[in-house]
Amino acid sequence: MTTPPHVRSRYLSFFAQRGRVFLYHDLTGNVLEMSPDLMAFVERFETPTRLEEIAGDFAFGPEEARRFARIFADNDCLVPEGSDELAKLWRRVPVQARWVVLHREGDALTAVVSRGDTGPEAEPRLVSFDAWQTALWDTIDGELTTEALHDLLRARFPAETTRRRVEEAIAEWASSPMQLVRVSPKPLSAWSNPRDRPQWLFGTMPYARVGRSTDVAPPADAHTSRVDTGPYHEQTVSDASAQFDDVETTLSHLFREPHEALGGCNWGERMACALVERELLRDAPEHAGAIDVLEVGGGTGILTRAILDTLARDQAPLHARLAWRIVDRSPVLNAAQRARLTENAAHAGHAVAEIGDIESMALRPASVDLVFSNEVLADLHAVRVRRAALDPAKPAIDADEAKAVSLIRALHLDVGDEEEFLLNVGALELVPRVARALRKGGAALLTEFGTIEGMPRESTHLDHPEVSIQFTHLCRAATAAGLEATILPVADLVGLDPSVRILATTRTHFRNLRALAASRGVVLDKLAWTPEMWAERCGDALPRTAVRRLEWQPAGLRVMGLRPDDFLALVLRKPADVTAREAEA
The 10s digit of each residue's pLDDT in 27-60 is: 999 999 999 999 999 999 999 999 988 988 888 8
Q: What's the CA gap between 180 and 509, in Å, rounded?
A: 11
What are the phi and psi torsion angles at 561 (to 5°)?
A: -105, 10
Tell me the pLDDT band of 221, cut-offs 50, 70 and 90: low
pLDDT at 261 over 70: yes
pLDDT at 580 over 60: no
**Biggest CA pair distance of the chain:** 90
pLDDT at 334 over 70: yes
Tell me the pLDDT band of 223, cut-offs 50, 70 and 90: low
The answer to whether the beta carbons of residues 108 and 154 sit under 8 Å apart is: no
User: For residue 580, how many other CB atoms are within 10 A of its CB?
Assistant: 9
Mean pLDDT of 215-226: 71
pLDDT at 1 over 90: no
Instruction: Please report, as a single letter, which amino acid is at residue 517.
Output: A
Kind of pairing between the strands at 501-504 and 551-554: antiparallel
pLDDT at 219: 65
> Where are any strands of DSSP class E within 203-243?
208-210, 226-227
DSSP 387: G
427 CB-near residues (< 8 Å, 6+ apart): 377, 380, 446, 469, 474
Q: What's the CA gap between 44 and 14, in Å, rounded?
A: 15
Mean pLDDT of 298-324: 97
pLDDT at 550 over 70: yes
**What is the length of the chain?**
585
Query: Residue 103: beta bridge partners?
Result: 110, 547
Give whole-number Cα distances, 91 to 17, 133, 300, in Å. Answer: 33, 20, 52
pLDDT at 581: 43
pLDDT at 2 over 70: no
The alpha carbon of 366 is separated from its chain's Cα centroid by a whole number of angstroms, namely: 36
Tens digits of residue pLDDT in 9-28 = 999 999 998 788 999 999 99
pLDDT at 256 over 60: yes
Class of domain 230-496+565-576: alpha beta
6-79 CATH:
3.90.930
Give whole-number Cα distances, 453 to 240, 274, 564, in Å. Answer: 33, 25, 17
The answer to whether the beta carbons of residues 506 and 561 sit under 8 Å apart is: yes
pLDDT at 465 over 60: yes
**201-227 burial, b for 16+ CB within 10 Å, e for fewer?**
bebbbbbbbbeebeebeeebbeebbbb
**442-470 burial, b for 16+ CB within 10 Å, e for fewer?**
bbbbbbbbbeeeebbebeeebebbbbbbb
Segment among 70-79, 215-224, 235-244, 437-446 with least mean pLDDT: 215-224
The alpha carbon of 331 is separated from its chain's Cα centroid by a whole number of angstroms, namely: 23
**Helix intervals (H) in 247-330:** 251-254, 267-277, 302-314, 316-321
Segment among 180-184, 198-202, 325-329, 371-375 with least mean pLDDT: 198-202
DSSP 174: H
Q: What's the CA gap between 302 and 299, in Å, rounded?
A: 8
What are the phi and psi torsion angles at 27 (to 5°)?
A: -100, -20
Q: What's the CA gap between 577 and 481, in Å, rounded?
A: 15
DSSP 247: I
Higher pLDDT, 365 or 207: 365
